[in-house]
């Protein structure tokens, strides 16, 4: 079954601390993995995708096919990073995106 699991509903860290939002997936083929972010009172937007292998707003995510994980990391959290983060998987055909339940990140001053 195709599934995306985000084990933490809430993650609270202090400003300047490292942050890691966990994501594990289950998929039989070669999916495309994404992280989406939703800031307060804003719409859901793409943060980054594994195929781009880029850093956005200081965040990076590495696809680990052996562990079927796609954890999101940032070495030094900022208060403006506080938001809801969703890990998502898109099937090879490109017509279906499966989202995890989301992790709310709260960065304390």
Partner 1 sequence: ETGVTQSPTHLIKTRGQQVTLRCSSQSGHNTVSWYQQALGQGPQFIFQYYREEENGRGNFPPRFSGLQFPNYSSELNVNALELDDSALYLCASGGEGTSTDTQYFGPGTRLTVL
Q: How far is the CB of 47 from partner 1 (least distance, A)?
A: 11
Alpha-carbon distance 15 to 73, whole Å?
14
Alpha-carbon distance 101 to 92, whole Å?
21
Considering only residues 63 to 102 of the shown chain, the ones binding partner 1 according to CB under 8 A are 86, 88, 90-102
Give the pair of three-digit tokens for residue 23. 């994501």
Among 20-28, 43-51, 59-67, 68-76, the segment contacting partner 1 (CB under 8 A): 43-51
Residue 33 near residue 87, CB atoms below 8 Å: yes
- Rule CB under 8 A: is residue 44 a binding residue for partner 1? yes
Task: Name the site residues for partner 1 (rule: CB under 8 A).
Answer: 4, 6, 31-32, 43-46, 49, 51, 86, 88, 90-102
């Amino acid at each position: 079954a195709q599934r995306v699991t985000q084990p933490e509903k809430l993650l609270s860290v202090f400003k300047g601390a490292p942050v890691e939002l966990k994501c594990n997936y289950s998929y039989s083929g070669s999916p495309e993995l994404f992280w989406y972010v939703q800031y307060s009172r804003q719409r859901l937007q793409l943060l980054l995708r594994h195929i781009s292998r880029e850093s956005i707003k200081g965040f990076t995510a590495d696809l680990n096919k052996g562990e079927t994980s796609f954890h999101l990391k940032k070495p030094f959290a900022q208060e403006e990073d506080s938001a809801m983060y969703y890990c998502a998987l898109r099937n090879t055909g490109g017509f279906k995106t499966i989202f995890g339940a989301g992790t709310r990140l709260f960065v304390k001053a």
